[in-house]
Structure 1
Amino acid sequence: MASVKKDNRLTRTQNFLCVGFSGFFSKTVTSPLEVVKIKSQVGTFHCKKGFWNSFLIIYQNEGLRGFWKGNFTSCLRLFPYTAVHLTTYKKIVHLHMDELGFISHWRAIFAGGLAGVAAALATYPLEVAETRLIIQNCRQPTYIGVAHTLSKIYSNEGLLALYRGFSLTVLGAFPFSVGCYAVYMNLDRLWQEPHFRFTPLQNFINGCLAAGVAQTLSYPFETVKRKMQAQSSRLPHMGGVDVHFSGMIDCFIQVVRNKGILSLWSGLTANTIKIVPYFGLLFTCFEMCKQVCLYRNGYIVSPLSYKLTPGVDQSLRPHELQEVKRYLKNRNFGSGESSLRNRW
């Protein structure tokens, strides 16, 4: 998967905020594609006439705000998801490192998959709330806001409803990891050069390609998961799901029997189109936030460029650089005071 590269010149808090804000921004901009994708997976009437007509039908029935339903919940989920994912990933990678501190690509991707499952477990109720908010008609809402959605699902359907379909997240992590592994193991052949020579553009393309292949392989599991999250006997038209089922396996059977096997990839067009702008905005916004933080920390001369501050050791961590600055300031102050005394 594509990811932003850690820079030791940023503090942990700054790195976390940069990742969170860039994710928030990229999710908000690409929200219309996410709404169309989820409605297609669930099978609501909005997406019966194809990809492009889905946008028109949503606009006619719900207006512009219909394209940003559930976006706040999705963005809210980013911060705990990122925190749990990073913490778990570091711990798993540390366990699989050899004596020299190296880890194989396969083990790193496996660690990423396990960390993703752990993060999904911690934030899964928010994902269920996002699905419910997206599939409802915002002009005649059943749920109002994140807290109301979680409270109403819990009171009407019980705690297990907030984790309905979670097993599919675990099952989908395997083909997702295989997709990432298959792409990264063939990058040398694709670019005909070793990994350490890749340019930022090549790394961006690699991330988009890995995401595209991995998400395509795991997509049927996500489709069934969204249907399970959406279906409820307490919602109008059973939540808008196009097939009725009694469980995970029955859902797969009913979808294939009534809609055909290709319907397991409903919404894949919107999901694929979303990959490039999502990761493009993610990387661009992260770099912009990073420049501001590097400027505040004193490593670069302007937040608008990466021109390095003359005389600053870029290998120093932020707290080390601040200590050096304080030392130099105190030394200069002391030398100035001594010269003043000598004058008198």
Structure 2
Amino acid sequence: MLSMSHIPDMSSDTSCLPAKERCDHRMNTSITPFQQMMSSCTGALITSIFVTPLDVVKIRIQSQQKEFMKNKCYLYCNGLMEHICYCPANDVNTSNTSNTNGKSGATHAYHSMSSATMQRNLMSQRNRHFTGTVDAFIKITRNEGLASLWSGLPPTLVMAIPATVIYFTVYDQLREHINRRFKLVDQPLWVPVVSGGFARVFAATTISPLEMIRTKMQSKRLSYLELGRAVKSLLESQGFFSLWRGLSATILRDVPFSCIYWANYEFMKKQFNQKDPTFTFSFVSGATAGTVAAVVTLPFDVVKTHRQIELGEMQIINNKTSNASTTRDIMRRIYRESGYRGLFSGIGPRVMKVAPACAIMISSYEFGKAFFRQYNASKHQK
């Protein structure tokens, strides 16, 4: 494994230098915002490719809980069980479904299927019920192919680069600004908390529409044409700002996550005297801080997924609007139906995704910054 220790430490003690030379040293070994952006891009690409299968599994596990809670009728279509009407669970095979919630058009399609076809469809749906992370990996791969684990990767890549660039650059720039503004020699923990929270709000708001599209592509196997139609229907029925559906839940999840993550990471750097951390230290510390933050904020991740996968459901297909549930309403419904287990559904794949993602991202970012510090110092010496 590569080690940051192979790169000269450009933050070595310069206290013996005159004040002017110390200032020049700091100016010529610091990195520019553009170099910070470059440092984050490589990590974003590697991280996205590595964790997308874990994200697909997490979203499938969380979205199936939403489907079962609503007790919907199903139609096998495009490799997945699609919803066609609302009905009580005990009415699935009875004629009473024709009057369920007034969905006459949907129930007509429901009754048009033969009993044998419906039985096969229901059996197929049960075969696609995931009991855990490993079970989801096996069933998705077996029923839909290995490539389906990377469904939604293009929008993930399109989203990851600008989101990561914005997030890490804003975080570092704001943190340094606060330290300079208040002349802080020994950085207190509130500085990374404030910087991380603000950077996350800015980044999340910017890329929220792309994240909603990515979530929908991963929760159901849609072609780009089908996805385009669903988005168009959503805009026509609910307006432009519907593209930010789930943003409040995203912020409630990501802002606390960022605050907890950066507070833990900076605390570990301080405790182990890692002003310019090595690759190994960044990798381990990033994974640890990410795991803690992921577990604490998981209920908000579940809510975000539940709200975003509503894109393309029955009310969108029929070009009808529905009253959007608040984050509190969704959490109460999940708790009422499934208890605390429902609020923490997908904890396995989320931790499996977040821990390596944070480890790869922060270690790559720190490595890139150290490289540019060395580059700037060598350039200044010429």
Q: What is the match of residue 226 of structure 1?
A: 305
CA 1:274–1:118: 2 relative to 1, 3 Å: same
Q: In structure 1, how many angstroms separate the alpha carbons of the residues matched to 2:307 and 2:178?
A: 35
Higher deviation after alignment, 173-182 or 56-65: 173-182
Question: CA separation in 2, counterparts of 1:197 and 1:26?
Answer: 22
Distance 1:94 1:149, change over 3 A: farther
Q: CA deviation at 1:131?
A: 0.6
* Counterpart check, 1:62 vs 2:144: yes
Cα distance per residue 1:270-303 (max 9 Å; x no partner): 1212244434544676688789x87xx995xxxx
Aligned equivalents of 1:280, 1:221: Cα separation in 2: 22
**Contact 2:45/2:157, CA 8 A, preserved across alignment:** yes
The aligned residue for residue 330 of structure 2 is 251
Residue 165 of structure 2 is matched in structure 1 by 83
Q: CA deviation at 1:64?
A: 1.6
Q: Contact 1:73/1:146 (CA < 8 Å) preserved in 2?
A: no
What is the TM-score with the length of structure 1 in the denominator?
Answer: 0.69
- Residue by residue over 1:40-81, the C-alpha shift from the partner in whole angstroms, topping out at 9 and shown as x without a partner, is 222266453221111122123321221111111111112221
Separation in 2, partners of 1:149, 1:121: 21
Structure 1 residues 60 and 237: CA distance shift in structure 2, 3 A: farther
Superposed CA deviations along residues 156-213 of structure 1, whole A, max 9, x for unmatched, are: 4422321112112332345425633673586489x7x545496542332121111100
Aligned to 1:120: 204
Q: Is the 8 A contact 2:189 2:263 kept in 1?
A: no
Shift of 1:220: 0.5
Q: Distance in 1 between matches of 2:176 and 2:211?
A: 26
Alignment partner of 1:235 is 2:313: yes
Structure 2 equivalent of residue 98 of structure 1: 182
Contact 1:136 1:142 in 2 (8 A): no
Q: Tell me which residue corresponds to 1:306.
A: none
Partner of 1:307: none
| TM-score, with length taken from structure 2 | 0.63
The alpha carbon displacement at 1:94 in A equals 1.4
Unaligned residue ranges in structure 1 (runs of 5+): 300-313, 325-344
1:22 alignment counterpart? 43
Query: Are residues 1:315 and 2:377 paired?
Result: yes
Report % sequence identity.
Answer: 25
Distance 2:30 2:275 in 1: 21
Q: What CA distance in whole angstroms lies between the structure 1 residues aligned with 2:238 and 2:211?
A: 16
Q: Does residue 53 of the first structure (1) align with residue 135 of the second (2)? A: yes
- Paired position in structure 1 for 2:52: 31
Residues 1:238 and 1:40: Cα distance change in structure 2 (over 3 Å): farther
**Which of 347, 350, 359 in structure 2 is aligned with 1:268?**
347
- C-alpha change, 1:14 and 1:246, in structure 2 (3 Å) is closer
Report the Cα offset of residue 95 of structure 1: 4.1
Q: Which moved more, 1:177-186 or 1:14-23?
A: 177-186
1:185-204 → structure 2 map (5 Å cutoff): 187=268, 193-196=272-275, 199-204=278-283
The corresponding residue for 2:61 is 40
Tell whether 2:226 aligns with 1:164. Answer: no
